[in-house]
Structure 1
């Protein structure tokens, strides 16, 4: 039987893909993922820094890490974490320049005219008021209305791949997911999306209460969860959608919900210092919090309001009667008195409801668990959550509260001893591949060979990425994307992402420039090439099957201690291009391995 080049490539894909599927499934179901994947090994702290606290290693980021002072591996890691948390001191000019020079296509037909242009990302720095005017322009085509949102998606990819402030970008991604809003749910959200992105970026390592207030006031959250129409009327307020998610997702979490309680007096009391709270929330807390937020709306030109898109207090909509939110009962079985007095005003009621929810010990537990899950393990140890909780509560009034909590988590023994307890989500795997291969992301062009329907490379990338289920700013529900392996270790997410490692470099799949052969040092043996790319993509050389499989794939029966040789048996196999194709395929296969996906 004649062996064709297609046989070799497809056989290699099947071999590695089978190993990857088995390994990642083990991560998703095993309480001890590293042990389940016997073909990997514990990594150094450098590996943890590159692959869990960043969107993957890059030659530049590894050089930055190695340049930080510190004699031991642990000292170097500690210094690098603190350097990344002090992100404003990191020169990020190269990434900023890439954003400034980015070109994104827009093409549509409107009123018998066709617009086909490439434009810079000009909406990113626009004020909320300027962005809002994009929403109110009459007869504006949909492509123009959502253009600001599309520009933020491009900037997010550029920052994930090129920013030197990698830990900061990881935290921005975390908070976007925590305060999830589907950007295309409403044209007013899409039009003002750069403003929402700025809110998240401004407060990602700041104070949680301050961020919660600004998120609540944003156009995006106001329209996504309907508080924009929350008007006094009815026993439970006008619209409780936001208040429900405020408790269930944004602060205390569903674990602190007492679904079947109807009497506040029966709820245990939790204390922190001199503060006393009901230990959990019930539906009546949601109803009264919704009443507290009546009149919190947007200046959208209606009911005598200005038309600027700014946050607006509509006092005539506010429910000024007394309210009770998270108040403790003085004695068991005795209802607590209202802790919001009559005629308190819309601003005071709303701010106090948010403050009570933000400062609650249950909120600290919920948020610290999520942070530990994002930064350490799907099932973080209780000791680590307790450490984070203590720092969170101590610094509730600190302007850098979140930074202090993240530092405590990352410098803990638990964080330093856990590797492989998480896997990449699809976008993270794509960004890691692009970073490790020093890829050049595309710039759109108006047409290709005179065809104006071509040249939208960014839209091809976004479409492919969305098919994995990891939809940037596009998760349908307020919960945000799941952050556990048992959700993502499935055939759709894995196979579609594995395909993207190949398709993104094609003109029809993204036109990303990835010069794998050019970055491979010349004259290396098959084993040397594999080791070079293992170090580049994993930051270490694993013991076990992966290295052997990749070397054998590259050697194709030849001497693994010699450079890869052209093969006989097909017309093009004797060419240098065929050898180069094999090197590229080997790197793409490496990207499908469990070792590459583990974090």
Structure 2
């Protein structure tokens, strides 16, 4: 997002604010100020909003307050019952997400930019507007877990199918469902070099990552012999090309002629000879049922929703739930969300995508020209190192705060830009923010209004020191109360507290 000085001056009539002024204010803040809400002061509803959704949005807190936290969790788990017509309408701006990627490869050069905008734009649209917030978070989780890199060959095009047909339909089912879907994803098979793997020259990339990153984990108890055996089993799992007589390009195909049909032994279990494609299905079942997989998947889910260092007590509990339910994803999530460890979790640093989407949600953006706007947002995410599907390694973007904490300058710039953006008929919902303050009866009281915004955005009020710092920042450029509140809100959005969830 580019901050428009013309619109900044036109809308706010102030000239003293700058990026350096914001950065200086935050840098000079005493240690401990603008800290994220701690366990003892955390609002349960705000905690649920921060962990199950992409952040606060007008009306969401009141909605959860009315139906209760437990009911909100259950409704989010039952995502298919949630009406989401507005999101579906907004997605019409991205028609290529309904196309098969293989059909677009023939004109790759002309289609690449359009596909990228549609893919990233649809992800941003769903994260910002969808009522199925937990479902979207799980789509993001599995897209990291089964990571593919869109800058390798035609993977960008094949990712359209991977997202629509492989990840999304299985994101809340059982682990074997999403594992099997990924194993037959043309994007995955090309990315990990399995499309050309054959009985004469089996490629071990997919077999190794299937064991190390998708199922058992690096310490899951497999051997090099297991890697070789699994790689042989998956020879012939491939992708159609332009020379296929009866099938369009870019679809999954099992090439029996390229398959190593000999007997294989995986983790001590015999895969009979001449089993064809069923040999691969059998291996996936073995891996999905393994205790190491149960522990590995449980740990990653807990890291995503609870803490960078998953509490072992919760890992053990979820591992047993996984084994008891056959890897049922909803059962695992339900166990996590009702655990003491979840409710006592330390603050977790937002990854850049979460932070940017959180800005747009909390400011209630109504994006009118989504293709142009989201292309701008995509460049912002690139500057932050977190454009979706742009991580080259198969392990997916890091899910620990220490990786992201050293790149705060683009976030501060994003907070300024989000607050003052006014291009393409798109801007923050100032009318809605005013209405919120009026309904709360604080529109004419600077301190009360600021505390209201802090509770809405941070889940807690500002301390005395934080109020002093914020008022100095607010009043340095203008005497107008509303303009001061806008500046104070910028500081809240750029503060360390809003970087956490």
What TM-score do the two structures reach when normalised by structure 1? Answer: 0.75
Structure 2 partner of 1:16: 26
- Cα distance in 2 for partners of 1:309, 1:38 equals 48
Deviation of residue 586 (structure 1)?
A: 1.6
1: distance between equivalents of 2:30 and 2:336?
30
Q: Measured at CA, do residues 43 and 506 of structure 1 come closer, stay the same or move farther in structure 2, by a change above 3 Å?
A: closer
> Could you tell me whether the CA contact under 8 Å between 2:39 and 2:344 is conserved in 1?
no
Structure 2, unaligned stretches of length 5 or more?
1-13
Q: 1:92 to 1:387 in 2, by over 3 A?
A: same
Indicate yes or no: 2:395 matched with 1:479. yes
Q: Which moved more, 1:364-373 or 1:459-468?
A: 459-468
Per-residue deviation, 1:174 = 0.7
SS of 1:324 mapped into structure 2? strand
1:214/1:291 CA distance change after superposition, 3 Å: same
Q: Which residue number corresponds to residue 465 of structure 2? A: 545
Residues in 1 aligned to 2:96 and 2:236: alpha-carbon distance in whole angstroms: 29
- What RMSD in Å do the two structures reach over aligned CA positions? 2.7
Encode CA deviations 1:469-503: one digit per residue, 9 max, x unaligned. Answer: 1121111111111011111111x2x1112211223
Aligned residues: 481
Q: Which residue of 1 aligns with 2:272?
A: 341
* Alpha-carbon separation, structure 1, partners of 2:387 and 2:399: 13
Structure 1 residue 42 displacement after superposition: 3.1
User: Partners in 2 of 1:436 and 1:147 — Cα distance?
Assistant: 28
Aligned partner of residue 384 in structure 2, secondary structure: coil
**Matches of 1:20 and 1:314, distance apart in 2:** 64
For residue 453 of structure 2, the aligned residue among 533, 556, 576 is 533
Alignment partner, residue 124 of structure 1: 97
TM-aligned CA distance change 1:516 to 1:21, over 3 Å: farther
Q: Secondary structure at the match of 2:52?
A: coil
Shift of 1:8: 8.3
1:248 aligns with 2:212: yes
Q: 2:336 aligns with which of 378, 403, 409?
A: 409
The residue correspondences of 1:456-471 to structure 2 (distance < 5 A) are: 456-471=372-387
Aligned to 2:163: 197
Distance 1:296 1:325, change over 3 A: same
Separation (CA, whole Å) in 2 of partners of 1:536 and 1:210: 38
Indicate how the Cα distance of structure 1 residues 320 and 305 shifts in structure 2: closer, same or farther if over 3 A, else same.
farther
Q: What is the deviation of 1:507?
A: 6.4
**2:316 maps to 1:324:** no
Q: Point out where structure 1 has 5 or more consecutive residues left out of the alignment.
A: 25-33, 69-75, 103-120, 257-279, 328-337, 446-455, 557-566, 568-572
Note if contact 1:458-1:510 (Cα within 8 Å) is conserved in structure 2: no
Give the CA deviation at 1:154. 0.6
Residue 210 of structure 1 corresponds to which residue in structure 2? 177
Q: Please tell me whether the aligned partners of residues 183 and 473 of structure 1 are also in contact (alpha carbons under 8 angstroms).
A: yes
More helix by share: 2
Instruction: Tell me whether 1:306 sits opposite 2:247 in the alignment.
Output: yes
Q: Could you say which residue in structure 2 is the equivalent of 1:67?
A: 66
Counterparts of 2:33 and 2:278 in 1: how far apart (Å)?
A: 53
Q: CA, structure 1 residues 52+423, in 2 after alignment: closer, same or farther (shift >3 Å)? A: same
Q: CA deviation at 1:540?
A: 2.9
Pairwise mapping of residues 75-154 of structure 1 onto structure 2 (< 5 A)?
Answer: 76-100=68-92, 102=93, 121-126=94-99, 128=100, 131-136=101-106, 140=107, 142-145=109-112, 147-154=114-121
CA contact (8 A) 1:378 1:484 kept: yes
Structure 1 residue 57, shift from structure 2 partner: 0.9
Which whole-Å CA distance do the structure 1 matches of 2:484 and 2:25 have between them?
15
